[in-house]
């Protein structure tokens, strides 16, 4: 990190935080603190929703996912536009007219307090677990750059997020998110431009795209129907739609964003904008990862992107085992680069035979490169006894910190840190809202003054911030963070979505059916996770279906309620 990077990083973060605190002033009632007094316009809500989704996980892990596995992860979002349209005409007007602080308040209006408490608890567990993963992501950044301890990083980031979230509430979060989206857009554009401009002079942008394509990194659409494949067109359209319906329709961290809208129309516009913008945005982020892959065809990448593990196997005690692997890797890299250049020459000359030969050579070299990396992972496991090393989360950060010019490194890091603050501040606020409104006020203090609940909300925000710092330590054990977050959500979202579908569309389903339907749905989802290989996106579909089926069945079997007979003479 050079002085220019520190200046850009510090200035960007200060702008985001201070602007949010300034705009959040006056949040002196529970309604203003938790729902911004229902004054927000659509563009602020839309950008806040996007910033909340775009955590550091998005930039750190998604780009690495594209580098390692291509762009097929974008299919994960194909069902999101459909979900946004559905929610705009169902959840948005229903929640607004119910005048609720949380989505789970509505469940008591529709069913009973027991169902509300169950789904609130599920949300607190799921979002509480995800909070630590979200906060851990930037700890990876400073570990790569400066070797700072993970705990120091998470403490700093958690402390800053708690500061402006506690002071300004959801209004401060929303306006800080607006600034964050501006910084984010600039940082992403700079990262893509750098990846392309740093390529050798003889490799044009069109050449880079071609190389990414033949290397299998532009596989944005996969048509095969495979229940065990996490990312294909069908799992994205169907499973992704159900996940998005649950995330935006049942997860308080997102519902709270559009409950701040000044009208139903404004809230609808915020969701519809996300439906239009999210897929192109995610495509753009994944494309950056593909261009980083092409860059590393010509600039030798480290044998392992996780620097501390690479240094471990480079020690004198392991030199005899490491050197043959390093030699194999170096030779494979040179062969791959030569094959890539031959392929470009054949492409320009139109020589089909030479092109096929070059592709075959490239494939063999890539296989050798992958084999050397697998050997290095085996050496790490041999050195420290750890299993399943995954350095995907370090790929993009290695590129940024080693190859971007002064100033741009600080800008990209500002994107990552700011995205983390946006995500965890929204999560802390939603967790605090559910803790106070659905648990504390509902079950412990029903009739306290407004000031009491305002102070309780601030205390709950502080609690969840401390919890995030303590639980972030487990993020390092989860491999690809973007997958870990979505797998975790899919373990719970199917059950949550199912009960809201019952509430919205099945008027004859009663409280007992809803309650036991959720329990049955969660039991099936966890059985799928532990005992099958079905891709996690399908958990949302299957879990939702089980909740609906059990809810309808139990309600039909349940005796009809006995209505009191009218008094005589009436």
Mean pLDDT of 211-236: 77
Rounded distance, CA 346 to CA 202, Å? Answer: 14
Count of structural domains, the chain: 2
Rounded distance, CA 347 to CA 334, Å? Answer: 20
| Structure tokens that stand for 263 in this block | 């009208």
Which residue, 388, 420, 449, sits at the end of a domain? 388
Structure pTM?
0.81
Rounded distance, CA 363 to CA 53, Å? Answer: 36
| Cβ-proximal residues to 194 (8 Å cutoff; 6+ apart), any chain | 403, 404, 405, 408
Rounded distance, CA 434 to CA 291, Å? Answer: 42
Query: C-alpha dihedral over 51, 56, 60, 61, to 10 degrees?
Result: -80
Residues 505 and 358 placed together within one structural domain of the fold: no
Rounded distance, CA 221 to CA 73, Å? Answer: 9
For residue 565, being part of any structural domain is answered with no
For residue 290, being part of any structural domain is answered with yes
Q: What is the pLDDT of residue 55?
A: 63
Rounded distance, CA 556 to CA 186, Å? Answer: 56
| Structure tokens that stand for 15 in this block | 């702008």
Mean pLDDT of 354-379: 88
Mean pLDDT of 531-560: 89
Give the domain extent around 352.
307-388
Residues 321 and 377 placed together within one structural domain of the fold: yes
Residues 379 and 488 placed together within one structural domain of the fold: no
- Crossing angle of helices 537-557 and 481-505, rounded to 10°: 30
| Cβ-proximal residues to 153 (8 Å cutoff; 6+ apart), any chain | 138, 139, 141, 142, 143
Per-residue pLDDT reduced to its tens digit, 464-506: 888 887 777 665 555 555 567 778 788 898 899 999 999 999 9
Residues 213 and 312 placed together within one structural domain of the fold: no
Rounded distance, CA 240 to CA 82, Å? Answer: 10
Q: What is the pLDDT of residue 54?
A: 67
Which residue, 333, 367, 388, sits at the end of a domain? 388
For residue 35, being part of any structural domain is answered with no
Residues 553 and 447 placed together within one structural domain of the fold: yes
For residue 279, being part of any structural domain is answered with yes
Backbone angles phi, psi at 40, to 5 degrees: -80, 145
Closest Cα partner for 61 from 460, 318, 304, 394?
A: 394
Q: Write down how long the chain is.
A: 570
Mean pLDDT of 136-141: 69
Q: Residue 530 burial (CB < 10 Å; 0-12/13-18/19+)?
A: exposed
Per-residue pLDDT reduced to its tens digit, 144-198: 666 677 777 778 777 888 887 888 788 888 888 887 888 888 888 888 899 999 9
For residue 31, being part of any structural domain is answered with no
Per-residue pLDDT reduced to its tens digit, 392-406: 778 888 888 888 888
Q: What percent of the chain has pLDDT over 70?
A: 91
């Amino acid at each position: 990190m050079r002085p220019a990077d520190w200046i850009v990083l510090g200035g960007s973060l200060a702008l985001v935080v201070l602007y949010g605190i300034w705009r959040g002033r006056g949040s002196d009632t529970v309604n203003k603190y938790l729902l911004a007094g229902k004054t927000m316009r659509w563009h602020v809500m839309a950008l806040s929703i996007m910033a909340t989704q775009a955590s550091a996980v998005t930039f750190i892990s998604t780009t690495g996912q594209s580098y390692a596995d291509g762009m097929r992860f974008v299919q994960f979002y194909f069902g999101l536009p459909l979900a946004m349209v559905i929610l705009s005409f169902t959840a948005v007007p229903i929640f607004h007219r119910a005048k609720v602080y949380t989505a789970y308040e509505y469940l008591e209006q529709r069913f009973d307090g027991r169902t509300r408490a169950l789904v609130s608890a599920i949300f607190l567990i799921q979002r509480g677990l995800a909070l630590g993963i979200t906060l851990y992501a930037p700890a990876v950044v400073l570990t790569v750059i400066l070797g700072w301890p993970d705990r120091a990083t998470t403490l700093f980031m958690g402390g800053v997020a708690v500061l402006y979230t506690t002071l300004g509430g959801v209004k401060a979060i929303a306006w800080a998110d607006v600034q964050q989206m501006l910084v984010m857009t600039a940082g992403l554009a700079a990262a893509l431009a750098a990846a392309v401009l740093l390529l050798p002079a003889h490799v044009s942008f069109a050449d880079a795209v071609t190389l990414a394509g033949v290397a299998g990194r532009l596989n944005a659409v996969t048509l095969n129907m495979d229940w065990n494949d996490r990312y294909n067109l069908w799992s994205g359209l169907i499973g992704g739609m159900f996940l998005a319906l649950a995330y935006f329709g049942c997860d308080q961290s997102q519902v709270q964003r559009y409950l701040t809208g000044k009208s139903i129309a404004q809230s609808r516009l915020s969701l519809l904008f996300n439906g239009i913008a999210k897929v192109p945005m995610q495509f753009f982020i994944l494309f950056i990862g593909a261009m980083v892959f092409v860059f590393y065809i010509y600039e030798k990448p480290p044998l392992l992107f996780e620097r501390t593990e690479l240094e471990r196997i480079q020690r004198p005690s392991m030199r005899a085992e490491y050197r043959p692997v390093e030699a194999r890797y170096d030779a494979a890299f040179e062969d791959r680069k030569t094959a890539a250049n031959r392929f470009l020459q054949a492409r320009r000359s139109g020589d089909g035979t030479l092109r096929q030969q070059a592709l075959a050579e490239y494939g063999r070299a890539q296989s050798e490169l992958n084999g050397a990396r697998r050997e290095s992972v085996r050496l790490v496991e041999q050195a420290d006894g750890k299993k399943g090393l995954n350095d995907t989360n370090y790929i993009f950060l290695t590129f940024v910190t080693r190859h971007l010019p002064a100033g741009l490194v600080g800008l990209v890091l500002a994107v990552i840190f700011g995205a983390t603050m946006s995500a965890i501040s929204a999560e802390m606020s939603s967790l605090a809202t559910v803790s106070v409104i659905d648990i504390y006020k509902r079950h412990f203090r029903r009739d306290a003054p407004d000031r009491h609940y305002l102070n309780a909300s601030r205390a709950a925000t502080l609690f969840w911030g401390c919890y995030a710092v303590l639980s972030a330590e487990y993020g390092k054990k989860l491999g690809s963070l973007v997958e870990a977050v979505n797998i975790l959500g899919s373990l719970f979202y199917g059950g949550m979505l199912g009960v809201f579908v019952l509430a919205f569309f099945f008027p004859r389903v009663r409280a007992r059916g809803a309650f036991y339907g959720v329990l049955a749905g969660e039991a099936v989802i966890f059985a799928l996770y532990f005992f099958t290989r079905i891709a996690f996106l399908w958990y949302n579909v299957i879990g939702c279906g089980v909740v609906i089926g059990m809810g309808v069945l139990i309600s039909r079997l349940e005796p009809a309620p006995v209505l009191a007979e009218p008094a005589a003479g009436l």
